[in-house]
Structure 1
Amino acid sequence: MTSTFHGLETARRGMFTQQVALQTTGNNISNANTPRYSRQRVNFSQTEAYPAAARNRPQIPGQMGTGVEAGSVQRVREGFLDTQFRGENNKYGYWNSRSEALEKMEDIMNEPSDNGLAKTMDRFWQSLQDLAVNPEDSGARSVVRQRGLAVAETFNYLSNSLSSIQEDMKSQAELVGKEVNSYLTQIANINQQIKEIEPHGYLPNNLYDERDKLVDQLSTLVNVKVTKEPSGGLALPMAEGSYSIELLDVKGNSFATPVKLIDSAINPQTINTVSINYDSTSKMAESITVVGATPINITDVSGGKLKGLLEAYGYEDNGSVKGIYPEMLNNLDGMASQFANKFNEVHQAGTGLDGQTNYSFFDLTGTSGAAKSIKLHSDTNNLDHIAAAKSAFNGDGSNALALADVKNTDLAFTGGTATLQSFYEGAIGKMAVDAQQAVRLTDNSAVLSDAVEQRRTSVSGVSLDEEMTNMIQYQHAYNASARNITVIDEMLDKIINGMGVGGR
């Protein structure tokens, strides 16, 4: 038969295990509002039954249970939801950075408004028509000069402002690159701590949570894939091991030669830093370099905030410069160049009040940077040099009308011919459509990532109602085990103190 003390050990194990469960429940309740905390649970398992199968086993009806033990304290986490959240978070990082870049551009271009380039040029064309009516009037000539100056200054302002924001985008991209390396360093340090703990049979749940939080934040910046490398030793089967972090291509797949930011199979504490390379001529982003890997073209990089900022700043693609800000700056340069050259051509063919020809109205240095460099020519310092006439006859304002008609003249732009107004409207319209698309997809990505986060929270988050129910359940089990010990104690007291007293 079994020992009477057998029941004491079974009850003791029950009390100890329920106590561990109560402590774990208390920890969950304490962290109910801790960001990214994953609730934990105790995995109960039966202890080995008695007696073991053997020739000299005691003759009892069958194997009897010997109680329960806390096998492990495990966090509740769904890996699929983590992967899905990071994918949506990566899209949000890309579209949000793109949306912010376009929003800043819209603020600078300020169209339609009374202060934008379109309205400024309309006033300039109107002043030329007024001059055609009174070609000898100095007031009308002064207005033409001032309105021309306003056009040049507006081009200058737009180009300088866009260039300034473009440089800000470059600075932000550099900071994001450093942020990526910082997250990688923190993940690598946690990898090392986990690798030192797991072989002893423990599950460092708090370190798991902290590492997953860092990976979530990293996924906003670049698109990454996480794989797990076992720690070895006496690590439990459910131990998560060290994380290897891999950079993905534009399709969300691994590169032909995998680009490892952290390779835990080699060393979980070593990171391969990320840096941005720039073309020596255009100064635009050329590639992203990861230590130990071939430089990656910007077009081959997947989403994330880093790519969104580099696309806004500008990048090299097969020898040509592309990007949100370079495109708009090129449009402004093309407009300023074509406008100034055509206007000067018509103006030089006309005659000023002094009867002379070949006067220039605008001055600029080439097509590249035309919007930044355009200004009034020194000839316009003398109002008599404004060529309103086609001949030297007084009262002739026909050339002023020809100058005003430059507005409706087809000019050669990249991609075809168009009038100044239609080309500018096309550029502004494209910017508006791109901004609208970026805002829409930012909102969509935010909704999807929030939806995944809610599902993830429903799995990993702490429910106070559920924890209170568990607490009561564990409390009753603890009390029952304690009561069981009391009953066995009374039985032992009867055996020891109440039996064998006959005949005294």
Structure 2
Amino acid sequence: MSLMANLYVGQSGLTTSQNALNTTAHNMANLDTTGYTRQQVQQGTMPYQTLERDYTVIAWKQIGTGVNYNHCKQVRGDFLDVEYRREVGRKDFYDVSTRALEEIEDQLQEMDGQEFALSLNNFWTAVQELAKDPCSAVNQSALVTRANEFLARSKSVYEGLVAYQDNLDATIEGIVEDINYYGDRIKELNEKIAEIESSKQEHANDLRDERNLLLDKLGEYGKIDYKEDIFGNVTVLFEGTAFVTTDHVNHIAIDRTLESCERYATPYWEFAAKTHYDKDGEKIVDSIDGAKIFDLTQTVSTSTNTDVGKLKSVLLARGDHHATYHDIYEDPDYYNKHIAQSVLMNVEAEFDQLIHFVVTEVNKVLEEAESNPANLDDTLGLPQDFDLFVVANKDDKVMYDIGDIDKNTLYSGFTIMNTQVNSTFIQDPTVFTFRTIEGNEDMATMEALKKAFTTEDYVLNPNVSTKNSFITYYNSLVSQVANSGDVYKGIFEAQEKTVDAIDSGREQIAGVSSDEELELMIMFQNAYNASSRYINVVSEMLEHLLNTLGS
């Protein structure tokens, strides 16, 4: 090789070392940038110049022509990326469930007010005091007061649960907007990356970093699967359905009219919904059957990856309506399929069932006592209406229609939100005499009333065999919430450790180490200096030859 050609060898070393220094400086500048992936220069040799071909020897006589800057690659662990995006979604799933149960615990204990348990115990105490002296106006008045307080506290707890349901519902629209934005942005990045890398000369590493970060965030909201094609485009499946394709994004929409009794948000795939256009050209959604993103009746299980994603967890925790005892009492199969996995609807239904049991049994005892001649209307000789609890606005017809159960049933059963104390008792707590026809104290009614509170004949739901009295029912409900919360919290904490371990593994591969980058910077700087000195030596040799020949 001529001395002139050797200058190109030195020049290739300068260029490659300078590019490597630029890459190292770029890594250092992004040391604390979220989502940044360490970049690494790949070097190779330029084609060798063959001086002599001798097939009798192992190697021909060749001279190197310099170093080549092949490309700058990202250093990532694809397996860890897949694991992280699944496990972070699982962590967020149990995070939502844990927070929901913590909120329910706060509502049941009513940190900013009086505990519901106290109002229930006060009602029971009033019954016991009345049993000691049934004809006492003070005791009778105390019973009515405690009954009214019991209902007021019940409604306060239930309204708190409903308010939290509404808060969860309000977050769904924001989550869906984020998911759609991530999908649109990934598609935009796909186009830019494919355009830059189509020449096979450059790698859009910074754009790939942004896309990877979006995939991380998308994994928090649901189960995703993705793959990259030969052109650099990433296609994404969200919950098993095509979300980001090579040429478009299938957006998620929100329905508040077709599915939920409470007009709660139901996410669905826009492209799969049945629609039509009205005379004004406005798109009208007729049905989202087959377009729903989730089947919320599926059993939540880690083995089948049905416990991944914040969106699904919020939908499950919130449920699709404000549950009552009807969801348990009238159809146990419906309860197991639609209610049991929703932490809020489950507690709402069980709590409302307690109130229904108390109100119904107390009224039943008093109704049996109404036939006592001492309680007949003096003018007509007919039993008076001595129900302690009545349905508010009982002339109003309320349609009971939830989810897959199209009962088309008009009901007037006692629930928390439609029950009130009989105004007759509020106006005159002594209207019920609690006396027999002989004028004696009606101790039979008192014993029946106490027995209603102490009889262990009530279960929380069809899946629980332990029977409770009114007093122990609420304790069992609180214990169930606490135990479930402890289980979810344990899963969440274990999942958090798993995510941290995976993320730490990713950082070891993709993260920037300042010490390592400084070592590389010194190495590339020395390589640059060596190439520079090599050029100087060749230049001096050329100068010497030219001067010698010229003389």
Q: How does 1:230-245 map to 2 (within 5 A)?
A: 230-231=230-231, 241-245=232-236
2:531 maps to 481
2:309 maps to 304
The whole-number CA distance in structure 1 between the counterparts of 2:108 and 2:368 is 33
Cα offset, 1:360, TM superposition: 1.3
Q: Structure 2: which 5+ runs fail to align?
A: 273-289, 299-305, 322-332, 377-382, 395-410
Give the secondary structure class of the aligned counterpart of 1:298: coil
Would you say the 8 A contact 1:333–1:368 is kept in 2?
no
Identify which of 437, 446, 469 aligns with 1:400: 446
The whole-number CA distance in structure 1 between the counterparts of 2:477 and 2:67 is 73
1:371 maps to 416
Q: 1:387 to 1:286 in 2, by over 3 A?
A: farther
The whole-number CA distance in structure 1 between the counterparts of 2:146 and 2:364 is 19
Give the secondary structure class of the aligned counterpart of 1:443: helix
Moved more, 125-134 or 478-487: 125-134
Q: Which amino acid aligns with 2:358?
A: F
The whole-number CA distance in structure 1 between the counterparts of 2:523 and 2:432 is 95
Give the secondary structure class of the aligned counterpart of 1:499: helix
The whole-number CA distance in structure 1 between the counterparts of 2:549 and 2:90 is 79
2:222 maps to 222
The whole-number CA distance in structure 1 between the counterparts of 2:270 and 2:469 is 49
Q: Which amino acid aligns with 1:360?
A: D
Cα offset, 1:175, TM superposition: 2.3
The whole-number CA distance in structure 2 between the counterparts of 1:354 and 1:389 is 6
Q: How does 1:440-459 map to 2 (within 5 A)?
A: 440-459=490-509
The whole-number CA distance in structure 2 between the counterparts of 1:432 and 1:389 is 44
The whole-number CA distance in structure 2 between the counterparts of 1:275 and 1:318 is 27
Cα offset, 1:260, TM superposition: 0.5
Cα offset, 1:130, TM superposition: 1.4
Cα offset, 1:52, TM superposition: 7.9
Q: Does 1:361 align with 2:388?
A: yes
The whole-number CA distance in structure 1 between the counterparts of 2:338 and 2:414 is 15
Give the secondary structure class of the aligned counterpart of 1:197: helix
State the TM-score, normalizing by the size of structure 2: 0.79
1:203 maps to 203
Q: Which amino acid aligns with 1:11?
A: G
Q: Does 1:92 align with 2:97?
A: no
1:342 maps to 361
1:236 maps to none
2:404 maps to none
Q: How many residues align?
A: 474
Q: How does 1:190-339 map to 2 (within 5 A)?
A: 190-201=189-200, 202-231=202-231, 241-248=232-239, 254=240, 259-264=241-246, 267=247, 270-276=248-254, 280=259, 282-283=261-262, 288-293=267-272, 294-296=290-292, 297-299=295-297, 303-315=308-320, 321-322=338-339, 323-339=342-358
1:193-234 CA-to-partner distances (Å, cap 9, x unmatched) read 112111022210000000010110110111101111222xxx
Q: 1:391 to 1:49 in 2, by over 3 A?
A: farther
State the TM-score, normalizing by the size of structure 1: 0.86
Would you say the 8 A contact 1:42–1:73 is kept in 2?
yes
1:237 maps to none
The whole-number CA distance in structure 1 between the counterparts of 2:69 and 2:453 is 83
Q: 1:363 to 1:18 in 2, by over 3 A?
A: same
The whole-number CA distance in structure 1 between the counterparts of 2:440 and 2:13 is 114
Q: How does 1:15-26 map to 2 (within 5 A)?
A: 15-26=14-25
Would you say the 8 A contact 2:28–2:517 is kept in 1?
yes
Give the secondary structure class of the aligned counterpart of 1:41: strand
Would you say the 8 A contact 1:132–1:398 is kept in 2?
no
